[in-house]
Amino acid sequence: MILRLILEAVIAVLVISMVRAAVGILARALFQSAMRRPQGPAPRRPPVPSGGELKKDPVCGTYISAATAIQKRVGEQTYYFCSPGCREKFRA
Ligand SMILES: [Zn+2]
């Protein structure tokens, strides 16, 4: 009776440690594949000085390069947007 309880406890501990090890390996593999992935077209990138002049999107606050940004002139002021969606929101 007692022996069986001990055996079950040992099996439970083994199963739990195996599951934890498997989860750890899986998490590491996912993390490494995420790190390997080349930078996609992420719209919300932190401000990185990439040579060009950085402009702040007044709608969402993202910094974009003036060369690639969508520009809109209002009188003397030029506004820069990260996407056409932000330009539409600004116009509204
Ligand atoms: Zn934006």
Would you state the pLDDT for residue 42?
Answer: 64
d(CA 70, CA 84): 7
> Would the pTM count as exceeding 0.75?
no
CB atoms within 10 A of CB 14: 10
For range 1-8, the mean pLDDT: 89
Q: Which helix (H) or strand (E) holds 2?
A: helix 2-36
| Category of 75 on φ-ψ map: left (φ > 0), alpha (ψ -120 to 50) or beta | left
| Category of 20 on φ-ψ map: left (φ > 0), alpha (ψ -120 to 50) or beta | alpha
CB 35, CB 27: distance < 8 Å: no
Ligand 1 centroid distance, CA of 31 (Å) = 28
Would you state the pLDDT for residue 92?
Answer: 85
Domain definitions of the chain by residue range: 1-37, 54-91
- Collect residues with CB below 5 Å from ion ligand 1: 57, 59-60, 62, 82, 86
Per-residue pLDDT tens for 35-89?
A: 876 666 666 766 655 557 899 999 999 999 998 999 999 899 999 999 999 999 9
Ligand 1 centroid distance, CA of 34 (Å) = 25
Ligand 1 centroid distance, CA of 59 (Å) = 6
Would you state the pLDDT for residue 48?
Answer: 58
